[in-house]
């Protein structure tokens, strides 16, 4: 797994909320495999394979989009990718850290993003 590979799972809110969260991560990780699109889905997922801004801070969009409902976001990847994603999301949205789990080479963190 590269230093920037990241899997993002989103629940709560709708497809527009999921897309807003994924777009906030694009400045740090580049474009995802695809944007969440299914309006009827209750869980959305996106995978970032790297590229994008190589700076550790990344860049959350100025004037980030607003969420219509709370969204639970789970980010999973290398510790560096998870830290960068968490930092980016906490700058872009009002958030609460709901915990982390670490493995040998991967980490997982859950955040609650609120409107």
More confident residue, 103 or 4: 103
- What confidence tier does 102 reach under pLDDT thresholds 50, 70, 90? confident
Angle, CA 78 vertex, CA 23 and CA 80 arms, to 5°: 75
Model confidence at 10, in pLDDT bands (50, 70, 90)?
Answer: very high
Per residue, the 3-state secondary structure of the chain, as one string, reads CCCCCEEEEEECCCHHHHHHHHHHHHHHHCCCCCCCCCCCCCEEEEEECCCCCCCCCCCCCCCCCCCCCCEEEEEEECHHHHHHHHHHHHHHCEEEEEEEEECCCCEEEEEEEEC
Q: What is the pLDDT of residue 104?
A: 82
């Amino acid at each position: 797994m590269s230093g920037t590979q990241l899997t993002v799972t989103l629940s709560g809110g709708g497809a527009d909320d999921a897309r807003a969260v994924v777009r906030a991560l694009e400045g740090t990780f580049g474009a995802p495999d695809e944007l969440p699109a299914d309006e009827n889905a209750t869980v959305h997922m996106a995978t970032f394979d790297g590229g994008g801004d190589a700076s550790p801070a990344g860049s959350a969009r100025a004037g980030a989009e607003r969420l219509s409902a709370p969204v639970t976001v789970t980010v999973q990847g290398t510790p560096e990718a998870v830290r960068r994603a968490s930092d980016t999301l906490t700058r872009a949205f009002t958030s609460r850290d709901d915990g982390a789990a670490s493995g040998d080479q991967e980490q997982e963190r859950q955040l609650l993003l609120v409107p």
